[in-house]
Amino acid sequence: MYTKTTFGSLANRPVTAYTIENINGLRMTLLDYGATWYALEVPTHTGHQNIMLNTDLAGYAEPTGYFGKPLGRVAGRIGEGQLMMNGKPWPLPANEGTTTLHGGPHGYSTLWWQAAPANDQVTFTRTIPSSLDGFPGDLTASVTYTLTDSDEVHIDFTGTSPEETVFNPTNHAYWNLNATDETIGNHELMVAAQQRFEAPLSKVPTDHLLDVTGTPFDFTTPRQMGPQLAALRDTPERGIDDIYYIGEHDADQPVATLRCGDLGVEFYSKRNALILFTANKFGDELHFLEKKSRPYVGVALEPQTAPRAVVNPDFGDIRLAPGETGQAQLRYHFTY
């Protein structure tokens, strides 16, 4: 069952919200602007509780307003804003110094999408011409959000282009499972990765993997986040903004789990990396509807093919051959 409402308007265009509820009362709300995952509300004994960070349309329209948005064509950082296509450099527009972040200044998150709602899912589609986002090849893209009666959300991405291109999308949902205005310090996190990518201050990763064992980045067994983040408070990042390398793994096992009291999210993905970002420097420049913006107000877990695959095929293949359909799936299982 879905309902369609007018959410507001942005640049004189109406923004439509789609809410889907499953048989257990779990609810997912999506917006056509940005193909945004706006809310996930779990039924609790005191009513519905949204466990995602969300903001208003002005906040979503900010270039860094990635909250719950899909990131594409290529999530993560491409250093020096340049791809190599068939041995030739392909310059990209940059949006973070010389870096192309999250699809660049005209990536998925900044675009309007055509919505096709159904009983338990909404598919957002559009064409992204090369002349718009600066990547090679006109991309026909879709993002489908499905809410199942087994309390899972599936995000399925497809992309196809008549010319060779690159394709590595994900979603940038931020989670906070507290019913109160607390940070994620009291959440317990597991990340099924023993290694993370070394990255200089530019955050563009190198080929070098660092062992997390025994460090504040170690979540190989479930750990409370507060003490780990406290141990990183004096580092330049003041928390975690890291690419974990998961490598080959059993897709039936979660790549991460997040838990707080009775609420939990399990993250499933076949992809070989996961970005963990703990909103370390968030402050008054942002505002969220249900939580006060401050460091550690939410945590983003972004499964994707390792961003380093852009330059090193040892870390995965994100090339899309002409006419081939690229596919990627993220799965979230909610317990409450």
Name the site residues for ligand GAL (rule: CB under 6 A). Answer: 64, 66, 101, 203, 241, 275, 277, 302
Minimum distance, C-beta of residue 241 to ligand GAL, in the bound complex (Å):
5
CB 35 within 8 A of CB 143: yes
Q: Which is nearer to ligand GAL, 203 or 319 (CB)?
A: 203
Q: Which is nearer to ligand GAL, 198 or 262 (CB)?
A: 198
Q: What is the rounded CA–CA span in Å between residue 136 and residue 103?
A: 12
Minimum distance, C-beta of residue 266 to ligand GAL, in the bound complex (Å):
20
Question: Hey, what are 95's tokens?
Answer: 């949006």
Give the closest residue to 5 by CA, choosing from 13, 15, 39: 15
Measured CA distances, 141 to 67, 127, 158 (Å): 20, 6, 6
Question: Hey, what are 224's tokens?
Answer: 């409370």
The dihedral built from the CA positions of residue 219, 187, 48 and 54, taken in this order, carries a sign that is negative
Question: Hey, what are 202's tokens?
Answer: 């530019």
Minimum distance, C-beta of residue 335 to ligand GAL, in the bound complex (Å):
25
Minimum distance, C-beta of residue 96 to ligand GAL, in the bound complex (Å):
7
Measured CA distances, 98 to 41, 101, 179, 286 (Å): 38, 10, 40, 24
Q: What is the rounded CA–CA span in Å between residue 30 and residue 41?
A: 12
Q: Which is nearer to ligand GAL, 68 or 134 (CB)?
A: 68
Q: What is the rounded CA–CA span in Å between residue 43 and residue 38?
A: 17
Q: Which is nearer to ligand GAL, 173 or 192 (CB)?
A: 173
Q: Which is nearer to ligand GAL, 38 or 282 (CB)?
A: 282
Q: Which is nearer to ligand GAL, 248 or 285 (CB)?
A: 285
Q: Please list the alpha-helical segments (H only) found in 180-294.
A: 225-230
Q: Which is nearer to ligand GAL, 103 or 326 (CB)?
A: 103
Which residues have C-beta within 8 Å of that of residue 276, sequence separation ≥ 6? 191, 219, 240, 241, 242, 244, 256, 299, 300, 301, 302
Q: Which is nearer to ligand GAL, 120 or 241 (CB)?
A: 241
Q: What is the rounded CA–CA span in Å between residue 286 and residue 100?
A: 22
Q: What is the rounded CA–CA span in Å between residue 254 and residue 146?
A: 18
Minimum distance, C-beta of residue 275 to ligand GAL, in the bound complex (Å):
5
Minimum distance, C-beta of residue 46 to ligand GAL, in the bound complex (Å):
31
Minimum distance, C-beta of residue 276 to ligand GAL, in the bound complex (Å):
8
Minimum distance, C-beta of residue 209 to ligand GAL, in the bound complex (Å):
17
Give the closest residue to 108 by CA, choosing from 69, 156, 135, 162: 69
Q: Which is nearer to ligand GAL, 66 or 217 (CB)?
A: 66
Minimum distance, C-beta of residue 279 to ligand GAL, in the bound complex (Å):
8
